[in-house]
Chains A and B, each alone.
Chain A
Amino acid sequence: MKIFKRKKNRKVVVVGIDGAPCSLLRDYMERGIMPGLKEMCAGGSLLKMNSTLPEISSVAWTSFLTGKNPGEHGIFGFMEIDPETYEYRFPDSRSVKAPGIWEKNGSRSVVFNIPQTYPARPINGVMVSGFVALDLKEAVYPERLFRELSAMGYRLDVNAQLAASNPEAFFRDLFETFEKRSKAIMRVYEKEDWDLFICAITETDRLHHFFFDSALEGRYYGRFADLYSRLDSFLKEMADRAEKDGAVFMTCSDHGFTEIESEVYINRWLMENGYLSLSGGEGLKGIERQSLAFCLDPSRVYIHMEGKYKKGTVGKSGREELIGVLKGNLRDIRFQGKEVIKEIFLGEEIFRGPYACCGPDLYLLPNYGFDLKGLTRSPRLFGTTRFRGMHTYDDAHFFISRDFERENLKIEDLAGIISGFLECPCAGGLK
C-alpha cells in the first residue's frame, strides 16, 4: 500500500545537464550518439532556452531553483568583493536570498548536485550540494546519506586540475565521477520518497571547458561521443522510470557552450585605458583610490562608487557620465578586426528586485568566441590558456516529455513550469 502511495506522489523529474547546448544535443541526435533523447523527443519537446546574465552556473541554477532574477536572489557570480578590504568573498547556499521551489510548494523534494547549494541545508527531502562543494559531510542532508554516498565512492566533482597536466587521468576521473554520480542519483530516486526530483550532471561542463574544440571533430571527439552516449542511456533510464511513476520528465542546461577564439581580460582593458590601477596584492586588494571601475568574473563591471567602496571616489553624477563613456569605449574592443562585445547591459536593465543594486553597473555579453574574464594579473588584453570552451547565454536547452511551446524561454521560467505540475498532478500544468 505504501509503495503504491509513494509512486503516486512522484510528479516531476528534472535532470540538469550542466552546459549542454541545445544545438549540440540536436547534432548528437542526428549523429546517432543520443538515440534515447531522439526517441524521447518524438513524444516531447526540445527547446532552445536562454540562460541568465551573467551566464554562469551559480547564477543560472539559482534562478532555476528559485524562479527569480539575480536581483531577487542575490547571486551574481561565484565571487564578490568585500567593499572594505577588496578581498574576494564567496557566496554559498546561505547567501541565496530567495526560497527554492521545494520551500514554496510544501512538497517532498530531492535536490541533487545543483550548484550554489553548498553547504546543504535542511529540506523536506534530500539535498546533495553541487559546485562549489568541498566536504561531502557538509554537502548532504540528512546525515544518513553521507555514509551511503561515501561508501559508494561518490565524488562531489571532477578534479579539473588534471585536465591540463594529464588529460588521460582527467578523462578517467571524469567518467568515473559520472558513473558514480548517475548511480547515486538512481539509488536516491528509487529509495527516497519525493514529489519533486531534481538532479544535475556536471561532467559535461567540465569536459567542455577544456576540450570543446573537439565537440564535433578532433582529437578528443571520441570522449565527447562516449560521455554523451553514456549520458543518453542515463537520461533514457530516468525518463522511463519517470514515465512508469507517472511523473513528467524534463531536462535542461544552465547555459550553452562554444569554442574559445580568445580570452579577453576586461580588467586589463580598464587598466590600459586609465580606469583602474592596482598595486600588489591578490585580485583587487591593491586597488588604488583613483580607480573608477573594476571587473569581476566573467564580465561584471562595477563603478568604484564613493560610499559603496572604501576607496571609491565616483559620485552619482560621475557614475552616469562614466557609464556612458565606458559603454562607448568597451564596444570598440576588437580582436583581429572582430567585434568582441555583442551587447552591453546596464545593471538596471537586466536586474530587478531588492538586491539589484548589489549587481554590476554594466554587464558585457560577448560575441561567440570571446571569453571575457575578470582576471587582474594578465599582462595583455588577449590571450589563450588551457581552456577551449566558454559559456553562451543563448543555446541552453529545455526538454519536456509533453507538447510544449514557449517563445523566448529562459531558465528562470522553469520553476513556474515545475510548480504548475506539482500543483496540478493531472499533468495539466501547462497553459
Chain B
Amino acid sequence: MLQEEKKTLTEMDADRKIERSKAVFREAVERFGPDRIALAITGGKDSTTALWIARRACEEMGVKLPLCMFIDEGDVFDEILEFMARIKKLWSLDIACLKNKDVSSKARGLGDMVKVSSLDEANQAALREMGFIGEEFPLMPDSTVCNHLMKTVPMREFITANGLAAVSIAIRWDEQAARRDEDYFAARANPLHTRVHPILHFTERDIWTAIFRHDIPYNGLYKQGYRSLGARCATGRASDMPAWMQDMENTPERVGRGQEKEKVMGQLRALGYM
C-alpha cells in the first residue's frame, strides 16, 4: 500500500475508520465465506473493537458471525478470562479456546525448563523450523521460542483441523515498527491461509474513541493503567491513570509489555539495583 494512502486512512475520523474496517471484513466474508474465517480475540481492546465491527458487518450482510478463536499462551490474566466470559454471554459468541497443552504440561511453572525431546513431533518440528538448536528452553510465554510454540502451533492445528481459509487479527499499524508494513490481506504459508487485518488503520486513540462513542465493552485492566495486554508475566501498568487518559501520542503503548517497566525492574533488581 502506498504511504499516502496509508496516511489518508490513518487520519480519518474514527467512524469512517469503522466503515473502512467493515468494508475489509465484508470483502473477507465474500471471498472466503463466514464458515472459513476465524476471528482471533484476546480480550484486549483492539480485538474486542474488531469483533464489534465484525458483528455489525455480519448483521448488515445477514450472515452469521464467524467462529472466534482465543489462544491461551500459558499465563493469562484472570481479568481476561472474566472479560471473555462476559462478552461471550453478551454477544452469544462461539469461542474456541486453543492451548499448546503439550508444551505447558511439560513444566510446572513459569521459568521451568522444557526438554525439547519431551515434546510431540509438531512442536519439535516447529522448533526446528525456527532454527532452534538447544536441548531445552525455559517456559516463558513472552520469549521468542515459547511465543512461537504457544501461539503458532495451536493456531496452525486449528486452521488445518477446521479447514479455515482466513484468520482475522486485530493488529494496528501504529502499534509497533514490525507492523508498519502489513496490509489488509496477507497470504501466509504453512498452512496456506490469508491473514485479514481489518483495523490496521486505527490508532490507539481511535480505538478508545470508538469504544466510548459506541459503548463497546472493554477490559477493566485498562482502567487501572494498562495500555496493552499480553501474558501476565510480561505485562505491567504504564501508569496509574486509565489507559485512555494517558499521553497516547508521546508515550509507548507497549510500555508495560515486554520493554517494560516490571521486566526492567526485575532485571535491575536481580543485579542489585533499586
Contacts and interface: CB of A to CB of B under 8 A. Distances in A.
Interface of A: 78-79, 85, 87-88, 90, 92, 119, 131-132, 134-138, 143, 147, 150-153, 157, 159-161, 163, 206, 209, 283, 297-298, 371, 373-375, 385, 387
B134 interface: yes
Contacts of B273: 78-79, 297-298, 374
Nearest 3 CB-CB pairings of A with B:
A151-B131, A160-B270, A135-B258
B130 A151 contact: yes
Contacts of A90: 261, 264-265
Nearest to A154: B144
8 contacts: A79-B274, A134-B263, A137-B178, A138-B258, A138-B259, A161-B270, A209-B271, A298-B273
Interface string B240-270: 1000000000000000001111011111101
A87 B259 CA distance: 16
B2 interface: no
B133 interface: yes
B144 A137 contact: yes
B132 A132 contact: no
A373 B260 CA distance: 23
Contacts of B274: 79, 88, 283, 297, 374-375
A151 B267 contact: no
A150 B267 CA distance: 20
B235 to A, nearest CB: 12
Interface in B115-134: 130-134
B272 interface: yes
Nearest to A180: B134
A137 B142 CA distance: 11
Contact of A153 (B132, B178, B264, B265): B132
A79 B264 CA distance: 10
A283 B269 CA distance: 12
A159 B261 CA distance: 17
A150 B263 contact: no
A151 B132 contact: yes
**A151, A373, A387: which has the most chain B beta carbons within 10 Å?**
A151
B268 A79 contact: yes
B267 A132 contact: yes
Nearest to A94: B252
Given A297-B273, A373-B272, A147 B264 contact: no
A327 to B, nearest CB: 25
Nearest to B148: A150
A298 B270 CA distance: 15
Would you call the interface of chain B mostly helix, strand, loop, or mixed? loop
Contacts of A138: 258-259
B267 A160 contact: yes
Contact of B259 (A135, A206, A283): A135
A153 B133 contact: yes
Interface of B: 130-134, 138, 142, 144-145, 178, 239-240, 258-261, 263-268, 270-274
B128 to A, nearest CB: 10
Contacts of A85: 240
Nearest to B129: A151
Contacts of A153: 132-134
A327 B263 CA distance: 35
Contacts of B178: 137, 143
A131 B132 contact: no
B130 A119 contact: no
B272 A387 contact: yes
A151 B130 CA distance: 6
Given A78-B268, A160-B270, A209-B271, A136 B259 contact: no
Contact of B267 (A88, A157, A209, A297): A157
B144 A136 contact: yes
Contacts of A143: 178
Given A135-B142, A150-B130, A153-B132, 10 more contacts: A79-B268, A79-B274, A132-B264, A134-B264, A138-B258, A138-B259, A150-B145, A151-B131, A157-B267, A297-B273
Contact of B131 (A79, A132, A134, A150): A150
B125 to A, nearest CB: 15
Contacts of B258: 134-135, 138
B272 A132 contact: no
Contact of A209 (B131, B138, B264, B272): B272
A132 B265 CA distance: 9
A209 B270 CA distance: 10
**B258, B263, B268, B272: which has the most chain A beta carbons within 10 Å?**
B272
A92 B259 CA distance: 10
A88 to B, nearest CB: 7
Nearest to B261: A90
Contact of A88 (B260, B263, B265, B272): B265
Contacts of B142: 135
A153 B134 CA distance: 7
A375 B265 CA distance: 13
A151 B132 CA distance: 5
A134 B130 contact: no
B58 to A, nearest CB: 34
A154 to B, nearest CB: 10
B249 to A, nearest CB: 15
A155 B134 CA distance: 12
B177 to A, nearest CB: 8
A51 B271 CA distance: 19
A173 B264 CA distance: 20
Given A79-B274, A283-B274, A119 B259 contact: yes
Given A375-B274, A387-B272, A131 B267 contact: yes
Given A147-B131, A150-B144, A151-B131, A385 B267 contact: no
B73 to A, nearest CB: 15
B259 A134 contact: yes
Given A79-B273, A151-B131, A297-B273, A132 B240 contact: no
A88 B261 CA distance: 9
